């Protein structure tokens, strides 16, 4: 559980990690604590699963990766097996159950359009479900995760 | 579409691993690539300029920081109004993602927004506010029931 103090600290941090040789020292200076204390704080956040990771956010389209959001109408009795088929692909990074007749929503990314289409064909074939919406990205207006806590 | 050189692919792959929580977190990927930390940091900045890297992100788990109500809201927007509506939604703090996508006859929605709120009531109020400010009347909120998978894309497996 995060204390008020923890939340205050996270607020000061998000969401950009400094590009410098001692990034935690920079963050620590901003927050008025020591570098060591800042690293300890990050380790605590990671243990508590509040922090997922620190890594570059790639714009995959810039390096030729094609992605789409896919919605599927999956009957409840086929749900478990279908999720297993979908999640087995490393190309699927997010997969959610949503409140709608189109109940399964996932993102698929691949190095080429051909590969992306092949993955979806494979999912259709293995699951036996044909009711699928392939929602290709036309324009990104916003892609960011910034919150006030 | 930008093609990557062998060198940059090596750099991207080394950066796919999340940074370690140590005083000099760039040291390990720099060592793997075979360059100095300074050089790696300069390369990352260069990728940022090129738009390949958006930012070095500190990524939190939404559910864990008190954002319990999440919805994908899909909107049916007239072609001519998409850019304007995208701009309106961009300015809503609770909207983390806003994408224009292709629609289908049985699924006419072409603008997609991801909304994160603390409660369902708050989420609903945000959505109603967006409908009012944009004037878009046809939309649907698809609340998140369960997370089946959420991983960081591993470039080594995709490229």
Mean pLDDT of B79-88: 97
Lowest mean pLDDT among A92-96, A142-146, B152-156: A142-146
Q: Which of B21, B50, B157 comes nearest A90 by C-beta?
A: B157
Q: How far is CA B66 from the centre of its chain?
A: 19
Lowest mean pLDDT among B61-65, B113-117, B126-130: B61-65
B57 pLDDT higher than 70: yes
> What ipTM goes with this model?
0.84
Question: How close A102 comes to chain B (CA, Å)?
Answer: 9
* CATH numbers and ranges of domains, chain A: 4-47 (no CATH), 60-136 (3.30.70.3460)
Nearest CA in chain B to A79: B148
Question: How close B104 comes to chain A (CA, Å)?
Answer: 8
Contacts of B123 in chain A (CB under 8 A): none
Q: Do A55 and B57 touch (CB under 8 A)?
A: yes
Yes or no: say if A70 and B112 are a contact pair by the CB < 8 Å rule: no
A58-75, pLDDT tens digit by residue?
888 888 889 999 999 999
| Confidence (pLDDT) at A17 | 94
% of chain B exceeding 70 in pLDDT: 92
Contacts of B18 in chain A (CB under 8 A): 53-55
Q: Which of B22, B95, B158 comes nearest A109 by C-beta?
A: B158
Question: What's the rounded Cα separation, in Å, for the pair A132 and A126?
Answer: 13
Question: What's the rounded Cα separation, in Å, for the pair A102 and A75?
Answer: 10
A83-106, pLDDT tens digit by residue?
999 999 999 999 999 999 999 999
Nearest CA in chain A to B53: A58
pTM recorded for the entire structure: 0.83
Please report the DSSP string for A19-63 in residue order: -SSSHHHHHHHHHTS-HHHHHHHHHHHHHTTSEEEEEEEE-GGGG
* CATH numbers and ranges of domains, chain B: 7-50 (no CATH), 63-143 (3.30.70.3460)
Quick one: pLDDT band at residue B5, thresholds 50, 70, 90?
low
Q: Determine contact: A47 vs chain B, CB below 8 A.
A: no
């Amino acid at each position: 559980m995060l204390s008020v103090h923890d939340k205050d600290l996270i607020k000061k941090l998000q969401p950009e990690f400094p590009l410098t040789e001692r990034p935690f020292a920079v963050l620590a200076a901003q927050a008025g604590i020591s570098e060591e204390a800042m690293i300890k704080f990050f380790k605590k956040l990671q243990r508590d699963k509040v922090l997922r990771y620190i890594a570059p956010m790639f714009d995959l389209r810039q390096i030729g990766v094609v992605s789409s959001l896919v919605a599927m109408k999956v009957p409840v009795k086929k749900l478990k097996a279908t999720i297993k088929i979908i999640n087995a692909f490393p190309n699927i990074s997010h997969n959610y159950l949503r409140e709608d007749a189109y109940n399964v929503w996932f993102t698929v990314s691949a190095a080429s359009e051909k590969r992306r289409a092949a993955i979806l064909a494979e999912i259709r074939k293995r699951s036996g479900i044909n009711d699928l919406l392939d929602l290709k990205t036309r324009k990104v207006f916003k892609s960011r995760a910034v919150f006030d806590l | 579409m930008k093609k990557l050189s062998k060198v940059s692919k090596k750099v991207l792959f080394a950066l796919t691993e999340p940074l370690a929580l140590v005083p000099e977190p760039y040291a390990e990927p720099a060592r793997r690539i075979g360059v100095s930390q300074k050089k790696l940091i300069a390369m990352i900045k260069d990728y940022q300029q090129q738009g390949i890297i958006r930012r070095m992100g500190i990524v939190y788990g939404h559910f864990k920081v008190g954002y319990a109500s999440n919805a994908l809201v899909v909107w049916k927007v007239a072609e001519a109004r998409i850019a304007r509506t995208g701009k309106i939604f961009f300015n809503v703090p609770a909207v983390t993602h806003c994408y224009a996508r292709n629609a289908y006859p049985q699924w006419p929605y072409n603008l997609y927004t991801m909304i994160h709120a603390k409660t369902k009531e708050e989420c609903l109020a945000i959505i109603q506010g967006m409908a009012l400010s944009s004037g878009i009347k046809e939309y649907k909120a698809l609340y998140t029931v369960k997370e089946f998978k959420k991983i960081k894309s591993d470039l080594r497996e995709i490229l």
